[in-house]
Amino acid sequence: MPYIVINPELCKECELCIKYCPYDCIKIGDEINSKGYRFAIFVNPEKCPGCALCAMMCPEMAIEVYK
């Protein structure tokens, strides 16, 4: 089953991953990283096909996709 890993310390809450994920597998969580940003979290893992659109759109390269 594909899944993604988001590095919370690299995430800057730009929400591009959320905008480009057609499967609604990412949202902004409530926790804050050391830089003061709320960071993206992986949700709905059963819907993730591992397409990697989220990782391609992340300007900080905070997302890794595993198949």
Q: Tell me, what's the pLDDT at 18?
A: 98
| Contact (Cβ atoms closer than 8 angstroms) between residue 11 and residue 40 | yes
Annotated domain spans of the chain: 3-66
- We find that the CATH architecture of domain 3-66 is 2-Layer Sandwich (3.30)
pTM: predicted TM-score of the whole model, two decimal places: 0.94
Per-residue pLDDT tens over the stretch 3-51: 999 999 999 999 999 999 999 999 999 999 999 999 999 999 999 999 9
Q: How does pLDDT run across 43-61, given as a tens digit for each residue?
A: 999 999 999 999 999 999 9
What whole-number distance in Å separates Cα of residue 23 and Cα of residue 48?
Answer: 7
Check: CB of residue 29 under 8 Å from CB of residue 40: yes
Can you give the pLDDT at residue 64? Answer: 98
Q: Are 56 and 64 in contact (CB under 8 A)?
A: no
Give the C-alpha separation, 26 to 40, whole Å. 6
The C-alpha atoms of residue 43 and residue 55 are separated, in whole angstroms, by: 15
- The amino acid present at 47, given as its one-letter code, is K
